[in-house]
């Protein structure tokens, strides 16, 4: 299956038109950002610390209102009234980089139940949803603990459960693997993969070039509050100028592939491999 076959006829779900955002101290964090997000897509946002990724996310779900420009969700400009924002946040969930900014209830189960009990569902329905998420995200063993006693990986799972239980159409993950050990980072990757399979639109900010190369349909590179480049992972990671500007390394598989092409071991007209297995297959077949 081609990656793009999964998209719903390239329907635009979210659009930013010339969005500018300046913090109170005068920091211009977004300087005229234009972006279209397709329903069901896997979009990675990359760029150095301070390039504006988190500010972009906070603008996407209405926490920040642009000083200039517009955000449209399902082709309708965001309504910044309290009611409008509540409606938007049911559709777009955000998992903050630091779970401590997100978790505030006493126990894990209370935390996950809080939002869903305010959705207007019957009590039974709400409880069923909470139980399902607790099971799916493997939270059962610490469901009665106070959230502040949890490990970093557990907190991250609870902060994701908080969002998933609301059944959003789109989820924003701000550096979800930051500060997690490899096992928990993999667990989060798997959860994100499952969301994409369900057709949920996922926007992820990450510094992990290998993950972005393998996972994303499209990558957007940010630098100093602007989008400097966007394209498929293959386009972005072969764009030497954009990589240099944003200080990004090439993914390991691509580095080895290009080096083997250069030394004549592999044919550079081969489709770019995205996994170590694909690369190994080329080498085994001796495809010179």
Q: Is the distance from CB of 119 to CB of 166 less than 8 angstroms?
A: yes
How far apart are CB 286 and ligand ADP at their closest, in Å?
43
Query: What span, in angstroms and rounded, lies between the C-alpha atoms of 32 and 10?
Result: 24
How far apart are CB 51 and ligand ADP at their closest, in Å?
4
Residue closer to ligand ADP by CB (options 57, 142) is 57
Candidate list 41, 51, 71, 236; residue touching ligand ADP; CB under 6 A: 51
Which range binds ligand ADP by CB under 6 A, 53-61, 69-77, 110-118, 160-168? 53-61
**Partners of 171 in the β-ladder:** 93, 202
How far apart are CB 177 and ligand ADP at their closest, in Å?
14
Residue closer to ligand ADP by CB (options 130, 202) is 202
DSSP string computed for 173-242:
EESTTTT--HHHHHHHHHHHHHHHHTT-EEEEE-S-HHHHHHH-SEEEEEETTEEEEEE-HHHHTT-HHH
Candidate list 41, 54, 126, 165; residue touching ligand ADP; CB under 6 A: 54
How far apart are CB 270 and ligand ADP at their closest, in Å?
34
Task: By CB under 5 A, tell whether 54 contacts Mg ion.
Answer: yes
Q: Is the distance from CB of 23 to CB of 50 less than 8 angstroms?
A: no
Residue closer to Mg ion by CB (options 23, 149) is 23
How far apart are CB 30 and Mg ion at their closest, in Å?
13
How far apart are CB 93 and Mg ion at their closest, in Å?
17
59-96: string of b/e by CB count within 10 Å (b at 16+)? bbbbebebeebebebeeeebeeeeeebeebbebbbbbb
Residues 10-49 that bind ligand ADP (CB under 6 A): 23, 25, 27, 29, 47, 49
Q: Is the distance from CB of 280 to CB of 260 less than 8 angstroms?
A: no
Residues 117-176 that bind ligand ADP (CB under 6 A): none
Q: Is the distance from CB of 75 to CB of 13 less than 8 angstroms?
A: no
Q: Contacts with ligand ADP: how many residues (CB under 6 A)?
A: 12
Residues that bind Mg ion (CB under 5 A): 53-54
* Residues within the interface to ligand ADP (CB under 6 A): 23, 25, 27, 29, 47, 49-55
């Amino acid at each position: 299956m081609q990656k793009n076959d999964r998209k719903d006829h390239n329907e635009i779900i979210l659009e930013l038109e010339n969005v500018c955002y300046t913090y109170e101290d005068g920091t211009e964090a977004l300087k005229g950002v234009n972006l279209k997000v397709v329903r069901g897509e896997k979009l990675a946002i990359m760029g150095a610390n301070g390039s504006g990724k988190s500010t972009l996310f906070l603008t996407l779900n209405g926490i920040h209102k642009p000083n200039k420009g517009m955000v449209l969700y399902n082709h309708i400009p965001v309504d910044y009234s309290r009611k409008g924002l509540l409606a938007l946040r049911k559709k777009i969930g955000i998992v903050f980089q630091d779970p401590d900014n997100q978790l505030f209830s006493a126990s894990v189960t209370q935390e996950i139940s809080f939002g869903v009990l305010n959705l207007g569902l019957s009590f039974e329905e709400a409880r069923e949803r909470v139980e399902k998420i607790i099971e799916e995200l493997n939270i059962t063993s610490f469901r009665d603990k106070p959230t502040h006693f949890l490990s970093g990986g557990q907190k991250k799972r609870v902060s994701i459960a908080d969002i998933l239980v609301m059944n959003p159409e789109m989820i924003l993950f701000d550096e979800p693997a930051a500060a997690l050990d490899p096992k928990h980072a993999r667990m989060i990757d798997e959860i994100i993969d499952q969301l994409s399979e369900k057709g949920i639109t996922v926007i992820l900010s990450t510094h992990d070039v290998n993950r972005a190369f393998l996972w994303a349909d499209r990558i957007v590179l940010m630098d100093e509050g602007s989008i400097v480049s966007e394209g498929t992972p293959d386009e972005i990671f072969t764009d030497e100028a954009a990589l240099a500007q944003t200080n990004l390394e090439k993914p390991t598989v691509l580095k080895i592939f290009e080096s083997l092409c250069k030394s004549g071991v592999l044919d550079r007209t081969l489709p770019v491999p995205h996994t170590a297995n694909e690369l190994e297959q080329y080498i085994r077949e001796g495809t010179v």
